[in-house]
Amino acid sequence: MFPDTIRAYDRAITVFSPDGRLLQVEYALTATRRTPLALGAKCVDGVVLMAKRPGSPLLSLPGKIYKIDDHIGAIAAGLVGDGLVLVDKGRIEAQSHRLIYNEPITVENLARRIALFKQSYTQYAGVRPFGVVMIFGGIDDKPSLYVTHPGGAYFSYLAVAMGRGSDEVNEFLRKNYKEDISLSDAIKLLMKQTIKTNEEKLTSKDLEVAIVPTKTKKFRFLTDEEIQKFLNEAQSELKKE
């Protein structure tokens, strides 16, 4: 139970608590920590996005990783419905930018626009913050990885994990991530800690993986066969460590 002093300030998004907190925003961020694990990493030759599949292994759609533009992908970590709204918003922003400026939107510009859209939902009565963290990965002149938070902030990352068990994974990434890592090694690095944090043996049906290589600048999902190959290699390397 929350103390009465807190409960008095958590009923409206437009009211600050005496210590300067917007409690509904904090609750929205807490909701994102209940989602299955979502990870992203920049590499010298691309960007990788990885997510643990939610729910039943028989589930086909929706997943957690989405194509936003030819060169950008995103993970919606949090409430699925909120994520779908922001994915559609991101696609509209990307296509509008192409039509107006005749060039693809940058990953940072897209993340900033989505962050500002999220922030507007922290200012008005009758709305609530989006209970989802968006991880955007793509290629501009170089690989880019950004995260937008429910309060409207956005940050650039080299590698990041969000969702259930993310504290342990982020600590692992801080110790083991290297900026000169290759795309294939980054996939295996993310898989290693995902394997460690999972109680049951993972298969290709348990993970979604998407990449944006610098060579093609084209977003694509890895096939089940490719995912299983990387899983086998990651498991073999873990046994040797």
As a CATH number, domain 33-236 is 3.60.20.10
What is the rounded average pLDDT of the residues 179-186?
95
Q: Residue 190 — φ and ψ, nearest 5°?
A: -65, -35
For 109-126, the pLDDT digits (tens) are 999 999 999 999 988 878
For 63-77, the pLDDT digits (tens) are 789 999 999 999 999
What is the domain partition of the chain in residue ranges?
A: 33-236
Residue (of 186, 143, 103, 138) closest to 114 by Cα position: 138
Residue 91 has pLDDT above 60, yes or no: yes
Pairing label, strands 154-156, 159-162 = unpaired
pTM: 0.91
Residue 1 has pLDDT above 50, yes or no: no
